[in-house]
Structure 1
Amino acid sequence: MFETLLSPLYDLYELGGAVTLILLFLSVISLATFLLKIWQFAAAGVGRRGTSKKAVDRFVDGQERDALTIAQGGCSPVAVVVAAAIRGILFRPDARADVEEDVQRIAQERLHRLTAGLRLLEAIAQIAPLLGLFGTVLGMIEAFQAMQGAGSNIDPSQLAGGIWVALLTTAVGLAVAMPTQLAVTWLDSRIENERVGMETALAAIFTRRITDRAPEAAARAKGPSVRKAEPSLVPGE
């Protein structure tokens, strides 16, 4: 049974050499990492904005306690950051600068967790074509060495077969690199959307969406305005 499992790998080695086996190994790592990232994003609630949006709306409307309860019920990175911001504003109203700095720290930690593994996928996407080209060069060297050794008895079919096998590694390298790069781009776009969601939610919380509210609501949020006394035109007053 063990020999049956190794037989395809041996055939692949005979066809494309050790470089093809390395590329196959990298493709397995790339696929496993991509599936792991999809599971991580789903478990972390990436892309789910309903809870955080509802919490921000409640906070802007002045229902801070309800907003905190709603935000704490969410599991997405945006909801976690929103809950931290509301909690800091409620319990440390006199230390707004410290609250903002600590919330930024939490946001960076959450985003850093999401980016784990992307460097590996980027490395595979970059090195796979180079490995394929390296295998092609090695195969071409072997083909020309065989041609030199054959002297005048060169069989064109054998030479073409050697070149075809050499070019196979380049095709395999590109086949590994292209989907890996697409996966990196897609994952990176999801993380960037999450980053924008965090920044938008935090801006809405710390500014209380002053520009999105009605003029009278904005005036109440700023506090009562003090009207400057106009000079009297009547002498003695």
Structure 2
Amino acid sequence: MSDSLLTDATGMSTGPLSQLLEMGGPVMMVLLAIAVAGIVTFVYLMLFGAFFAPRFTARLKNAINLWQQKPCSEVPGRLEQNAGRYSRLNPLHHLVVNTMNARLKAADPQQIRESVASDAHDALEPFEAPLKIIEVIAALAPLLGLLGTVMGMMEAFSAMAATEGRANASQLSGGIYEALTTTAAGLVIAIPFAALAAWIEFRLRRIQKTINSALVSVMSVPLTTSESHAAPESPGTAADTAAAHHRFSDYSAAGQQGRLANATG
């Protein structure tokens, strides 16, 4: 029978995991806990993103092309009528339909832009917390590993001092080996989570650019029917469109909500 299946005199498992926890002490248990939390967060983020992430589908692309050719109420109506259950979970679908309807109702352009910016932020907000958790784990794991190493080294040298310097090299090296285990574990956890955080942030930037492109395409189309009669555009329409593009494209980290809070506002 292999050693991983053996048990010690107290009945506790002596497998690799239990040996690792015993060598690393309480810090190793904390590292294992945050690693499990990070994996659960990543799985949740992938499942949530598969259903609720904004997607620029072929149906939306065709609807925007029709809107650019002939902006009328048939375009959002047909888009809403032909939307399936999976499409209705797409936040970008609702953003495009609501923006088209708002423009057809000749609403104030400034009010439309503010409403669109708020709705776009709400579409990206659910991804902020999971990304932050993964980033914190990637930053915290090496520090916890270093803490475990320092505590292990203190314990090893304390034992050496208790023997009045008569500890042999094998005993001292064994204590140092156990102390360095937590540093290695912290790096093993931090490296993949740092890579995952960078990849998730890249994907969110791509989603933000997709939202910007779709909404600017809808907002920049001049209406020649209802909007031109009900609320004629001022001579500064071109400047407003450019300002809208700038507002949608702003991804500055200076906002109160961090990188994603200013994704479209």
User: When the two structures are superposed, what TM-score results if normalisation uses the length of structure 2?
Assistant: 0.71
Which protein is richer in helix relative to its size? 1
Partner of 1:143: 156
The amino acid of 1:83's aligned partner reads V
Selected match of 1:86 from 97, 100, 107: 100
Partner of 1:158: 171
Deviation for aligned residue 1:67: 2.8
Deviation for aligned residue 1:134: 0.3
- Residues 90-138 of structure 1: per-residue CA shift (max 9 Å, x gap): 2x21422212211111101111122232111111111111000000000
Number of residue pairs the alignment of both structures matches: 208
Contact 2:54 2:123 survives alignment (8 Å): no
Deviation for aligned residue 1:71: 4.4
Selected match of 1:120 from 133, 137, 148: 133
Deviation for aligned residue 1:201: 1.1
List gaps (5 residues or longer) in structure 2: 1-9, 223-232, 234-265
Partner of 1:212: none
Partner of 2:191: 178
1: CA distance, partners of 2:12 / 2:34: 19
The amino acid of 1:81's aligned partner reads L
Pick closer, same or farther for the CA change 1:110–1:70 going to 2, 3 Å.
Answer: farther
Deviation for aligned residue 1:24: 0.4
The amino acid of 2:101's aligned partner reads R
Partner of 2:146: 133
Deviation for aligned residue 1:199: 1.0
- Larger Rg over CA atoms: 1
Deviates more, 1:137-146 or 1:62-71: 62-71
Selected match of 1:20 from 16, 24, 28: 28
Deviates more, 1:14-23 or 1:148-157: 148-157
Identity, % of aligned positions: 29
The amino acid of 2:129's aligned partner reads A
Contact 2:56 2:210 survives alignment (8 Å): no
Partner of 1:232: none
List gaps (5 residues or longer) in structure 1: 210-221, 223-237
Q: What is the aligned-residue RMSD (CA, Å)?
A: 2.4
Contact 1:133 1:170 survives alignment (8 Å): yes
Pick closer, same or farther for the CA change 1:70–1:39 going to 2, 3 Å.
Answer: farther
User: When the two structures are superposed, what TM-score results if normalisation uses the length of structure 1?
Assistant: 0.79
- Residues 165-186 of structure 1: per-residue CA shift (max 9 Å, x gap): 1011001011111111111111
Contact 1:49 1:78 survives alignment (8 Å): no
Specify the SS of the correspondent of 1:79: helix
Deviates more, 1:14-23 or 1:65-74: 65-74
Deviation for aligned residue 1:87: 1.6
